Amino acid sequence: MKKRNVIITLCLLCAAVLLPAAGVNAASAKKNRKALEAYQQFLSQSQIKWSKWTNVPSSQVQFASADINKDGVKELILSYPQAAHMDGWHRIYTYTKGKVKSLGRFTSVSIFKNKNYFVDTYANTGTMEVSCYRLGKNGKKASLVKYQRSDTYPAFAKGKVVRKYSDSYGYDVYYSSMKVNGKKASYKKCMKKIRSLEKNAKRLNLNFYDNTAYNVGTYLVK
């Protein structure tokens, strides 16, 4: 009798643990369906606002989707290689409060889903700017770390400039505009944060598709 009571108690405890999780998963699945429907509607418009100055034909963009912040709801990633460099070649959108929300425009996007962050890399005439972000479950983008690397002394550097010697190329490189969690940081603290993010990080392979009715109906449905 005691053994039976123990088994019943354990079953009830398991149910108490599993049922709320099942409810959360069901809610996420429902929100994900609504998000995908909203993205489909978004992609059906004739023009997409790409920057403050530019609208682009939606038929010329490519799309991909990924659950960047692991909340069970996918984000929409757009690619438009014909965009001007300064306007960025990618845009990321999330679904929050029943609406499609832009997270901004980016040049080269890399998503590391297992570490819950993504990276934007901008390079131009000897200067590279690296920005790492995390997308919160509230749909807001937070800056994790940012720095600029130049092969000449940066004329418009913000904060301290750190000079390093590059053995691979044989000339000096300069690190500047370093921030961690949105605040000015030392080179040491900045690089420590980068190493912690990169450790065991696995880059997500994004598959981009032309924005056609067939592709949207095939690849943006679950």
pLDDT digits (tens, 9 = 90+) for 53-95: 889 999 999 999 999 999 999 999 999 988 777 778 899 999 9
Is residue 24 assigned to a domain?
Answer: no
3-state secondary structure 69-109: CCCCCCEEEEECCCCCHHHCCEEEEEEECCEEEEEEEECEE
Among the ranges given (35-44, 46-55, 165-174, 210-219), the one the predictor scored with the smallest mean pLDDT? 165-174
Per-residue confidence (pLDDT) for residue 19, from 0 to 100? 44
Distance CA(105)–CA(82), nearest Å, equals 14
Is residue 28 assigned to a domain?
Answer: no
Identify the DSSP state of 82: T
Per-residue confidence (pLDDT) for residue 15, from 0 to 100? 44
Q: Cα-flanking dihedrals φ and ψ of residue 156, to 5°?
A: -115, 40
Q: How confident is the model over 91-103, as a mean pLDDT?
A: 94
Per-residue confidence (pLDDT) for residue 125, from 0 to 100? 79
Per-residue confidence (pLDDT) for residue 109, from 0 to 100? 93
Per-residue confidence (pLDDT) for residue 18, from 0 to 100? 45
Owning domain of residue 185? 36-219
This prediction's pTM: 0.82
Is residue 6 assigned to a domain?
Answer: no
Distance CA(25)–CA(214), nearest Å, equals 28
Under the banding of pLDDT at 50, 70 and 90, the label for residue 163 is confident
Is residue 20 assigned to a domain?
Answer: no
Q: How confident is the model over 187-197, as a mean pLDDT?
A: 95
Is residue 29 assigned to a domain?
Answer: no
pLDDT mean across residues, the chain: 86
Order of strands across the sheet that contains 75-79? 99-106, 90-96, 75-79, 62-66, 209-210
More confident residue, 96 or 170: 96
Per-residue confidence (pLDDT) for residue 1, from 0 to 100? 54
Under the banding of pLDDT at 50, 70 and 90, the label for residue 9 is low
Per-residue confidence (pLDDT) for residue 2, from 0 to 100? 55
* Structure-token match 């420590």, residue found: 192
Is residue 27 assigned to a domain?
Answer: no
User: Over 70: is that where the pLDDT of 193 sits?
Assistant: yes
No. of helices (H) and no. of strands (E), the chain: 3, 14
User: Over 50: is that where the pLDDT of 137 sits?
Assistant: yes
Is residue 81 assigned to a domain?
Answer: yes
Region class of 182: left (phi > 0), else alpha (psi between -120 and 50), else beta: left
Is residue 187 assigned to a domain?
Answer: yes
Number of independent structural domains in the chain: 1
Coil, helix or strand at residue 64: strand
- What DSSP element (H or E) covers 133? strand 127-135
CB of 167 within 8 A of CB of 180?
no
Distance CA(186)–CA(194), nearest Å, equals 12
